[in-house]
Amino acid sequence: MVIAIPTGIKTFSWLATMWQGSLRFKTPLIFSLGFIFLFTVGGVTGVMLANAGVDILFHDTYYVVAHFHYVLSMGAVFGLFAAFYYWIEKITGLRYNQILANLHFLIFFIGVNLIFFPMHFLGLASMPRRIPDYPDFYAGWNMIASFGSTISVIAVLIFFYVLYDLLVYGEQDLYLSWNDNALTWYYIQRLVISNRCLDTSINFDAARPWQFGFQDPASPIMEGIIDLHHDIMFYLIAVVIFVLWMLCRIIFLFIRERNPIPSNITHNAMLEIIWTVIPAVILLLIIIPSFSLLYAIDELMDHEVTLRVIGNQWYWTYEYPDYFSDLSFDSYMVLEEDLESIIGKGALRLLEVDKRVVLPIEVGIRILISSTDVLHSFAIPSLGIKMDACPGRLNQVNLWINRPGVYYGQCSEICGVNHGFMPIVIEGVSMKTYSDWLKIKNEINYRWYDRKFTTFCFDSYMNDLEKDSELF
């Protein structure tokens, strides 16, 4: 009966996942809901069966058959169908017929409930299971079950038709397919996950005291990096446990008191092959996710915003070359004594800057990185970015910010005495906030130009415009 506790936890977790969510009743979700209902019905009858006194009556009756079919045949199979309908579009890049798929669910749901729910009544009436024929008074409920079974067969036929329809007439939607653009798919997947977390979690985009792991991810790439780290940890733990176990066995078995005469065996070809091949296989298994992450990081992305970053000894210069007037500014670390007056209470020492970079979220961003003097490195842990700023060379990284936040980073290449004092702060904001910010910045810049180059700047700019327009 104790298994009801984790089962309850699971059920409540599934419900909590959807609670306050924003549900779209597409086929996979409908199947998932069906799964939860059926699994729960199976679960509660399991509690009933776990009571030995009552079970004297239920043991080996149709009640048991109803119970485990609710849990496994229906619960698990509905889960499988949910997964099938979720993944098949990704795998094939084809859309299935939603209406038919929903019909499949409806017919299947009615069918299986008609089969198995009456079996509870048969069990209560003590019909033994595993019998080829039964006394006549059990016939009524058995008839309903048989009827349900026929309906389930129809549901299966509908499923096969959905499959046929998908493969032959399925509408191609490359946006769905991972064959077409690995990164697009990667992003969609990550966005689904991160959007769900957005409202309920507190994010840490700088490190915390006594932190154990990574900072909270805010870009698909950082999520990928964390995932890969955790995947590799699985192998590392297995290897460490095995080596530790061997060490302990050796210490225990081959201490001189226990084994006074050492063996003088030297070679064992088979053993050597095994301990060469197994590590190689482990490394090969790691290669697969490792390469896919590497390619995802390197993949060229359609970008809508460009940010130019220039490293200086010891501050950063940021330029927004996309817009009319040159929007650029230097960003310096805030000194310790100014922290509270400039930033406010709770400011992060050695991490705050006087002017923050503002970038929009959920948009492709290209960051071009260079340097004027020595090597610097533009690094923001939460966004999974670390790119060297080399004098005379333009490096590029792609960025996609998943959610609003203030992301802290530091120069990560030794660049002189103040290497530790040129932090980076990026504010990820909505497109609306970003364009408002741009507008204000541009106006300030225009005014600045007006003051400084009164006639020169504006006239030459207008001349250029006229020249350009003659070309067309």
Give me the residues that bind Cu ion (CB under 5 A), please. Answer: 376, 411, 415
Q: How far apart are CA 66 and CA 117, in angstroms?
A: 7
Structure tokens at 358: 């503002």
Of 446, 466, 467, the C-alpha closest to 457 is 446
**205-219 exposure pattern, b = at least 16 Cβ within 10 A, e = fewer:** bbeeeeeeebbbbbb
CB 134 within 8 A of CB 142: yes
The least CB distance from residue 397 to Cu ion, in Å, is 16
The least CB distance from residue 299 to Cu ion, in Å, is 27
| Helices 4-18 and 27-50: angle between axes, nearest 10 degrees | 160
Helix (H, G, I), strand (E, B) or coil at 12: helix
Residue 213: what are its φ and ψ, rounded to 5°? -130, -150
Residue in the block written with tokens 């940010």? 307
Which is closer to Cu ion, CB of 69 or CB of 376? 376
The least CB distance from residue 356 to Cu ion, in Å, is 18
The least CB distance from residue 385 to Cu ion, in Å, is 15
436, amino acid identity: D
Pairing, β 423-429 against β 405-411? antiparallel
Continuous segment of H or E residues that includes residue 367: strand 364-371
The least CB distance from residue 417 to Cu ion, in Å, is 11
Query: What are the C-alpha distances in Å from 154 to residues 91, 143, 161, 173, 310?
Result: 26, 17, 11, 29, 66
Of 207, 78, 61, 162, the C-alpha closest to 120 is 61
Beta bridge partners of 317: 310, 330
Structure tokens at 314: 């010891």
The least CB distance from residue 96 to Cu ion, in Å, is 53
Helix (H, G, I), strand (E, B) or coil at 408: strand
Which is closer to Cu ion, CB of 221 or CB of 310? 310
The least CB distance from residue 358 to Cu ion, in Å, is 22
Helix (H, G, I), strand (E, B) or coil at 380: strand
The least CB distance from residue 307 to Cu ion, in Å, is 17
Q: How far apart are CA 301 and CA 279, in angstroms?
A: 36
Q: Which residues have CB under 8 Å from 29's CB, separation 6+?
A: 23, 82
Which is closer to Cu ion, CB of 141 or CB of 408? 408
| Helices 98-124 and 139-169: angle between axes, nearest 10 degrees | 160
Which is closer to Cu ion, CB of 421 or CB of 446? 421
The least CB distance from residue 222 to Cu ion, in Å, is 21
Beta bridge partners of 408: 425
Of 177, 21, 196, 212, the C-alpha closest to 94 is 177
Which is closer to Cu ion, CB of 402 or CB of 410? 410
Which is closer to Cu ion, CB of 113 or CB of 410? 410
Residue in the block written with tokens 């092959």? 273
Which is closer to Cu ion, CB of 119 or CB of 411? 411
The least CB distance from residue 353 to Cu ion, in Å, is 13
Beta bridge partners of 305: 365
Number of Cβ atoms within 10 Å of the Cβ of 26: 13
**111-147 exposure pattern, b = at least 16 Cβ within 10 A, e = fewer:** bbbbbbbbbbbbbeeebeeeeeeeeeebeebbebbee
Which is closer to Cu ion, CB of 366 or CB of 376? 376
Which is closer to Cu ion, CB of 102 or CB of 395? 395
The least CB distance from residue 371 to Cu ion, in Å, is 8
- Residue 358 is given by DSSP the state E
Which is closer to Cu ion, CB of 114 or CB of 415? 415
Which is closer to Cu ion, CB of 165 or CB of 388? 388
The least CB distance from residue 391 to Cu ion, in Å, is 12
Which is closer to Cu ion, CB of 293 or CB of 333? 333
